[in-house]
Amino acid sequence: DLQARLFTLSLLNLLLGSEPQRMDSVKTDLFKRHSNYNISVDEIGMKLDLVWAPYVLNLTHLLTDFKTRKKYPDVMVMGAGLWHMLHVSNPSDYELVLQTLKSSLVSLFPFSTDIANAYGIAEVVVLLVTTTLVTLLIYFSTVLLKVMEGGWIPLVFATFFLTVMYIWHYGSVLKFQSEVREKISMDFMIELGSKLGTVRVPGTFQKISVDFIIELGSKLGTVVKVGLDMVDGEKKATLEAKWMKLQVAQLEAYARRTDFVAEQAKLLLKYYKSEDK
């Protein structure tokens, strides 16, 4: 097909036309190695380092199709020029111009990262130019020409929102500058903390939290009670019954070891037992 021929023409042009050689010797050697100019995929893979990057980037997608054929299509080899005795002709001027531009691009940006950065900068420039042309040249000029016919309305709206955004930006800049100017150093914070008369509680935060949760049963009971309210279905009745028995047992133990709230605990115990019945 046409794409395969263009690929082979370009590839042979680079491989065979890189150095001045005698046409007869090169042609004889070519016939000995590859009958009918059919080059295997394995051998062409070893020679890809001689091919410039744009050709590889443009034509690598054809290798999958060529691997199934196990050969490249036939090409016509002819002499063209004094320095390149064996030169593969390319009948497409468009392909020549395209390959020249790609070679120039790769020469200017040798690494893929540089190409990506250049593409990003070009895209941003295109977006800025497009936005500027649409906003100033088309929209703004149209509004100015149609002021007497109602064009002042979008102009007033645009002016209002522009003013709001400018004030917001100006305030943000002032806030940032004040924070940078009045920034408090860490040394000052440490020195200030030592002068406030505060005393650090011994022990770590984890130890305090564990002791607090274990000793204060009401906090844990509140968590369980809230969890029971979120349970739906048949399990809720079973869990509530177990929770009621647990509350009764805790109140009995609390009533036995605490004297000054014994009466209140007994009243609550009586209430829970009545609810259980």
Segment 118-139, tens digit of pLDDT: 888 888 998 888 888 877 788 8
Check whether residue 104 and residue 21 sit in a common domain: yes
Check pLDDT > 50 for residue 78.
no
Check pLDDT > 90 for residue 88.
no
| Total number of domains constituting the chain | 3
Look at residues 15, 18, 10 and name the one whose alpha carbon lies nearest to residue 58.
10
Q: Look at residue 51 and tell me if it is in a domain.
A: yes
Q: How far does CA 198 lie from the centroid of its chain? A: 47
Q: Look at residue 252 and tell me if it is in a domain.
A: yes
Question: Which residues, at least 6 apart from 144, have a Cβ–Cβ distance to it below 8 Å?
Answer: 151, 155
Q: How confident is the model at residue 155 (pLDDT cuts 50, 70, 90)?
A: confident
Q: Look at residue 197 and tell me if it is in a domain.
A: no
Residue at a domain's end among 88, 108, 128: 108
- The rounded distance, in Å, linking the Cα atoms of 71 and 20 is 27
Check whether residue 170 and residue 267 sit in a common domain: no
Check whether residue 137 and residue 91 sit in a common domain: no
Check pLDDT > 50 for residue 29.
no
Check pLDDT > 90 for residue 172.
yes
Q: Look at residue 240 and tell me if it is in a domain.
A: yes
247 vs 51, higher pLDDT: 247
Q: Look at residue 244 and tell me if it is in a domain.
A: yes
Query: Residue range 44-72: average pLDDT?
Result: 48
Q: Look at residue 190 and tell me if it is in a domain.
A: no
Check pLDDT > 50 for residue 23.
no
Check pLDDT > 60 for residue 85.
no
Residues 188-232 have pLDDT tens digits of 777 776 666 666 665 555 555 555 555 555 555 565 565 655 556
Q: Residue 100's pLDDT is what? A: 76
Check whether residue 14 and residue 99 sit in a common domain: yes
Q: Residue 171's pLDDT is what? A: 94
Residue at a domain's end among 57, 84, 108: 108
Check whether residue 32 and residue 52 sit in a common domain: yes
Q: How confident is the model at residue 263 (pLDDT cuts 50, 70, 90)?
A: low
Q: Look at residue 185 and tell me if it is in a domain.
A: no
Domain of residue 93, residue span = 2-108
* Most confidently predicted of 50-54, 109-113, 233-237: 109-113
Q: Is residue 14 within 8 Å of residue 55, measured between CB atoms? A: yes
119 vs 265, higher pLDDT: 119
Check whether residue 218 and residue 135 sit in a common domain: no
Residue 166: φ, ψ to 5°: -70, -45
CA 149 to each of CA 10, 154, 158, 185: distance values in angstroms, whole numbers, following the listed order? 62, 12, 17, 60
Check whether residue 12 and residue 97 sit in a common domain: yes
Q: Residue 81's pLDDT is what? A: 40
Q: Look at residue 189 and tell me if it is in a domain.
A: no
Q: Residue 19's pLDDT is what? A: 41
65 vs 105, higher pLDDT: 105
Check whether residue 117 and residue 104 sit in a common domain: no
- The rounded distance, in Å, linking the Cα atoms of 167 and 163 is 6
